[in-house]
Structure 1
Amino acid sequence: MGEKAPGGVQSVERVFELLELITDAGGDVTLSELSASTDLPLPTIHRLLRTLVTLGYIRQLPNRRYALGPRLIRLGEGANKQLGALARPQLKSLVDQLGETANMAVLDSDMVLYVAQVPSLHSMRMFTEVGRRGFMHATGMGKAILAELDDDTVRGIAARKGLPTPTPKSIGDIESLLAELNLIRERGYSIDEEEQEIGVRCFAMAIPGAPTPAAISVSGPVSRVDGSFAERAVPLLREAAQAISEELNQH
């Protein structure tokens, strides 16, 4: 956890420290694992967990492990909406300058979750409903986010969700995916080459330093979203990603 806020309420800081530790551990932990990860006394941890269980923010599983609770889902959904609202001016700017649909997505339950979209004015355009989830390996934003993670984490996501191929151009095996992610890390952005939908190309970039893994993209028909489009789009995507990052990290 970061530095404690001066004049902060200690019990509140401790509650969020526990929630973040459970999240970092993959969503569920034992009491002893929590105790080993924090300087908090065991009775304090137990008391805070009991309170959070009563409120529904933590649940205790039959095997005695503690997991994130269902009431956090509503908070997360609300935060995702706010994240989308914060990004919309930058997405609109991308549409105004490039003429193609702009999107934002976050990593959520091993999937890419669309949290904002500003559509192109073209009649033939890319459209993905906000709130929809997609496979990480088959979307531009998903691959941009995966490239921010280490290979073991990527292997875990692939093992849990599989690598289905929505189109013949989709990546279907883990070694090809890891090679693609290395290329994205070197290049600084990802390309969805008709991997989600035939006829649609997408350029995407991760939001640097985002509190939750996130990315933005511009996408449209391959006839318009070509090499010359990329030359214009990539610098604008980088500017927009940096601007969103700065807003997210304002205190």
Structure 2
Amino acid sequence: MRLLESVAGRPHGATAKQLARETRLALPTVYHLLRTLVHEGYLYRDKGLFFLGEAAERLSSSGAQQKRRSTVAAALAQWRDSIGVPVYYARYRDGEIEVVCVSDTPGNPAVEEWADFRETGHAHAIGQCLLAQLDDDARRDHLDRHPVQSITPYTVCDNHTLLCRLNRMRRTDPVVERQEYALGTVCAAIPITVGTLTATMAISLPADQADRLLSAAQQLQEEVGRSLGSLTLSISI
């Protein structure tokens, strides 16, 4: 790791002797470790100089991605605590609904995914909010692959009814569903607009607290609006 750090600090490359001096390792040990790192793809050698290899670049990229995920998780936890509800972040990517992060507590647990979120987008606020942001062709393509089906007695009953509902939604308004995905639970989702990203933040509540749903969703929308600039890169993961 010390060798990798030393090489990373020298974008124009470094010799084995330079690295040995910087890391205060014996030169034979450095040669042995450099051969191993080159063999594994973490370094490459060119004209006697060592540079970071593709494996090290992938490692760095993975670390940066994890840091962005941590930033999103921290924001969700903050909103969870300030509003007192579970908070979800999801996006639509490659034709599928993807729940990226969920923040809840034992006192305010998230909805149990008893039916695959990807296949039941018509039944929950997250899916409806994401589908509402797509164009008509993309919506129909999604429903061709994941047809409307009854999840609870309150679930929308067919494609036509769902498409009519989606067409009536205003792009900036929270999307609300009451017990369509899970009996005893109500949910609301707000659209997230960052470039071409199709995403949403959502909340859920027990049905006996349904009177809190809209005000909690509006509070989340305000919180997200204030933080979206600093979160733009992180939510694009």
- Same fold by TM-score, threshold 0.5 exceeded? yes
CA–CA separation in structure 2 for the residues paired with 1:192 and 1:146: 14
2:149 to 156, 164, 169: 164
Q: Secondary structure at the match of 1:138?
A: coil
Q: What amino acid maps onto 1:115 in structure 2?
A: V
Query: How far apart, CA to CA, are the structure 1 residues paired with 2:97 and 2:71?
Result: 18
Cα gap change, 1:181 to 1:89, in 2 (>3 Å): same
Name 1:242's counterpart in structure 2: 225
1:215 to 178, 183, 200: 200
TM-score of the two chains, using structure 1 as the length reference? 0.58
Alpha-carbon distance in structure 1 between the residues aligned to 2:145 and 2:63 = 26
**One-letter code of the match for 1:102?**
V
**1:248/1:90 CA distance change after superposition, 3 Å:** closer
> Which of 187, 210, 232 is residue 215 of structure 2 equivalent to?
232
Distance 1:159 1:111 in 2: 12
Whichever of the two has the greater Rg, that structure is 2
Distance 1:175 1:244, change over 3 A: farther
Normalised TM-score (structure 2): 0.61
Q: Per-residue displacement from partner, 1:201-236 (whole Å, max 9, x unpaired)?
A: 00111111254311111102111232xx13421322
Aligned 8 A contact 2:85 2:108 in 1: no
Q: Name the CA distance, whole Å, in 1 between partners of 2:195 and 2:67.
A: 14
Aligned pairs for 1:1-251 within 5 A: 84-122=69-107, 126-128=111-113, 133-185=118-170, 188-209=173-194, 211-226=196-211, 229-243=212-226, 245-249=228-232
Do the aligned residues in 1 keep the contact of 2:88 with 2:99 (CA within 8 Å)?
yes
> 1:176 is matched by which residue type in structure 2?
T
Question: Are the structure 2 counterparts of residues 148 and 91 from structure 1 closer, same or farther at C-alpha, using a change threshold of 3 Å?
Answer: same
**SS in structure 1 of the partner of residue 220 of structure 2:** helix
Question: Once superposed, what is the RMSD of the aligned Cα atoms?
Answer: 3.2
Question: What is residue 49 of structure 2 aligned with on the other side?
Answer: none
Q: What displacement does 1:103 show?
A: 0.7
Q: How far did residue 245 of structure 1 move?
A: 3.6
Q: Secondary structure at the match of 1:136?
A: coil
Can you give the 5+ residue segments of structure 1 that lack an aligned partner in the other structure? 1-76
Task: Give the whole-Å Cα distance in 1 for the aligned partners of 2:107 and 2:147.
Answer: 34
Return 5+ residue gaps in structure 2 as ranges.
1-61
Cα 1:134–1:120 shift into 2, 3 Å: farther
Please state how far the C-alpha of 1:239 moved relative to its aligned partner.
2.2
Distance 2:126 2:64 in 1: 19
Change in Cα spacing, 1:139 to 1:83, as seen in structure 2 (3 Å) is: farther
Letter in 1 for 2:184: G
1:110–1:161: 8 Å Cα contact kept in structure 2?
no
